[in-house]
Chain A
Amino acid sequence: MVNDENKIVNKILIDNTRAIMRNRYVLGFILMILGVFLFTININFSSGEVSATVCCEKTTSGAYCQNVPSNECDPSSRQVPTSCDSTSYCKAGTCYDSNEGTCLDNTPQLVCNANDGIWSENSPAQCELGCCILGDQAAFVSLVRCKKLSAFLGLQANFDKTIGNEVACVAKVQQQDRGACVFESDFQKTCRFTTRGECGAINNNGTNAGAFYKDKLCSAEELGTICGPSTKTACAPGKDEVYFLDTCGNAANIYDASKYSDKDYWTNVKLKGESCNPSSANTASSSCGNCNYLQGSYCRATDVSGGKTSYGDNICADLNCIDENGAKRKHGESWCISDDTKKVEGEQKVGSRFYRRICMNNQVVTEPCEDLRAEECVEDSIETSSGSFSQAACRVNRWQDCIAQTEKQDCENTDRRDCFWKEGVTLGNATINGACLPRVGPGLAFWNSEESKVVCGAGNKLCVVKFEKGLFGGEKCISNCECLEPGWEKDYGEVCSAMGDCGSSLNYVGKKGFREGLKILINGEPKEEA
């Protein structure tokens, strides 16, 4: 009996399994037909209104290797219905310029090849960086680039690929001995102020035998060269300061008018700290050329920057600025400004925008952040020995998922989004007490998009207030009575404004819009103003 029952159970199971298998075949068949049907629809769409996205070799606007709808692709160019990363010709890789010795990443193969570059999927060996020593300067570049730079400067290429970073490269060049390199030229004892290594290269020519004198200037009398002191000054490449020049055109010590007649100052190399006013920027000083880039001064010709000096035509030019409020700003300092003068969360005027201002080379440059408040400007400052130094940046406004947050903690998670929690209001039909709103409401392209209706529509609020009629006439509010209080309209008006360019407000130049922006309806009729 038990066996019979087992058989029955097994049969049912087998029948069920068969039924499931049969159903699977049927389902598979239906899916296949559906797939064919959808494919047909897709083809119809492709040939009709909707175009599939393709990897396009060249678009109708002239851009290369773009993932665009097929109707935006130039008919004469290749297109494949896949991502450009999956194609051979538009795959991004490294483009090597064999002439300049530079490498550029993220370049499509066909774009690189069309410009006579050498393309490879991964960074080639030619792009490996090393330390290139260029006299008393250094550059962390590729070998070919090093040769190119050396040729520009008329130097022998000195490349060290064992140095793996830029800091070590700069440190190496700073450790080099510098001094007077004395040699014979045209039967005269002349001199060049250079490094020991470069001096060796001069000596190696054979015709110009000479000697290196560490920390000595070419104008030193004891060397007996034709070079002597002069009243000329110059800006040295890669250096902040103004330098005296000797009669052979070599840079001597930092320009100091009081030391012009000082024999020792024209004999031995003096460090920056041993020169005039080392702790000051010496901006526009007529007698001291000890400029300091970090403090906002840099060597410039007087005909460019203005000013007068006791000797020569170069001066420590002022790089610092005065901002819109008349405050002093240092070179490289940046700060934020906005069309919204009041910085209130969720209250931005229509058309307002953030800007980053930068002090660069004695000029204040304004960098607008992305329009429609897609970016906001953030600012902070650090304390330095010479006062506070402000740094600002435009960064993306992450407002998009604010209204989807139902927890205050999630809403105020600044790692993920830029929102604030408003107590006492609810969005739509939500039952929680509080709403998560964009801290900086986005601007909306309401003039050419329907999206503003969708975004602003999220701020709509329907409040059903229930009244109970009294036994002897009159009525009493029994549900949602807070909607009748004066603060309710204001609160929800603020919610509406926080959504973006919604609600009733003035634009950033103080003008009212053409539409009301906010409507309050009672039983479908506009509310009568008191």
Chain B
Amino acid sequence: MEKRGQVTIFIIVAIVIVAVFLAFLVYPRVRVLVSSDVNPSSYLKACLEPELEDTLGVLVNHGGYYEPTNYVLYKGEKIQYLCYTAENYKPCIVQQPLLVRHVEQELKAKLGPKARQCMNDLKVLYEQKGYQVSGLSGEINVSIVPDKIFIQYDTSLIVSKEQTQTFRQLEISKDSKIYDLLLTATSIVQFESTLGDSETLLYVQFYPDLIIEKLKKEGDTIYTLRNVVSEDKFTFATRSLVWPSGYGVIQNG
């Protein structure tokens, strides 16, 4: 009888541990759901943030492209060429100007559907709490600025129960130094396309928090820019002023 009681206690303890563990895993969601009054901005942030982290993680490792189109394969990663030449002995031709805008568009393309899904989930949540919801559709805007990434969801969300609340714009932000890294990458591309190479120490002189790793490999150059304080990074590739092996004339196949 004593043994059976002990087993029951063990089972209860195990269930409690698993429940605590699960609660810990889905904490951001729980935090929103348990609050008596749902805040659409907080909900959108909790819902969209993991997708933002994942997408940004892919973009910064692939030269600002979610699916690189013209790339060098390095350690299993496709790294987009931002400046490229197919010829030997010539400086590269710029392949991606307006890099900040391009990364904003990539983020928008990936986060847009997820944001809409989050808003639909929010509607269901409101309706379960007895609210009436209208004007869910909206447009997402991403802007990358110094030290931050802003995501704005322009909508005309109207939530009514006893009172009516209207939300015109939901905004979430993330601390990030990616803006500075993208501008440094653009400057390196400028050097590569003009002079055929770049001097990394020049940037370190002006940006004390920056580390630039430069790897040359069979004519390709892979740059990794890293902020030592925030640990943000951005990797991209160039192919410029290539000196082939030997005389670069006779090649098999």
Chain A residues at the B interface, C-beta cutoff of 8 Å:
59, 61-68, 72, 84, 92, 95, 97, 99-100, 102, 104-108, 111-112, 115-117, 152, 240, 293, 298, 300-301, 304, 319, 331-332, 334, 358, 360-361, 363, 365, 367-372, 374-375, 393-394, 396-397, 400, 442-445, 448-452, 454-455, 500
Contact = CB atoms under 8 A, between A and B. Distances in A.
B186 interface: yes
* From B97, B100, B189, B218, residue with most partner A Cβ within 10 Å: B97
Interface stretch (B13-21, B149-157, B245-253): B245-253
B77 to A, nearest CB: 16
Given A97-B101, A102-B186, A361 B228 contact: yes
B102 to A, nearest CB: 7
Contact of B84 (A66, A97, A304, A452): A66
Nearest to A113: B97
Interface residues of B, number: 55
B97 A455 contact: no
Given A334-B201, A393-B199, 16 more contacts: A61-B70, A66-B86, A104-B94, A106-B94, A106-B193, A152-B145, A240-B208, A301-B229, A332-B204, A360-B201, A360-B204, A367-B216, A369-B216, A371-B216, A372-B245, A450-B252
Contacts of B66: none
B105 to A, nearest CB: 9
B212 A360 contact: yes
B43 interface: no
Contacts of A452: 246
A59 B71 CA distance: 12
Nearest to A99: B101
B193 A367 contact: no
Contacts of B97: 95, 97, 104, 107, 111-112, 115, 117
Nearest to B93: A65
A358 B201 contact: yes
B208 A500 contact: no
A117 B81 CA distance: 19
* From B98, B243, B244, residue with most partner A Cβ within 10 Å: B98
Contacts of A394: 216
Contacts of B217: 368, 371
B208 A298 contact: yes
14 contacts: A66-B86, A67-B86, A97-B101, A99-B101, A102-B183, A104-B190, A105-B190, A108-B93, A365-B212, A367-B215, A369-B216, A371-B217, A448-B251, A451-B250
A394 B96 CA distance: 26
B141 to A, nearest CB: 13
B95 interface: yes
A84 B92 CA distance: 13
A451 B189 contact: no
B211 interface: yes
Contacts of B173: none
B84 A451 contact: no
A416 to B, nearest CB: 16
Nearest to A60: B70
B69 interface: yes
Interface in B62-117: 69-71, 81, 84-87, 91, 93-98, 100-102
Nearest to B219: A370
Given A115-B102, A332-B201, A367-B214, A444 B229 contact: no
Contacts of A360: 201, 204, 211-212
Contacts of B189: 104
Nearest to B189: A104
A366 to B, nearest CB: 8
A62 B217 CA distance: 20
Nearest to A95: B97
Contacts of B135: none
A400 B183 CA distance: 37
A361 B81 contact: no
B205 interface: yes
A180 B245 CA distance: 63
B208 A115 contact: no
Contacts of A61: 70
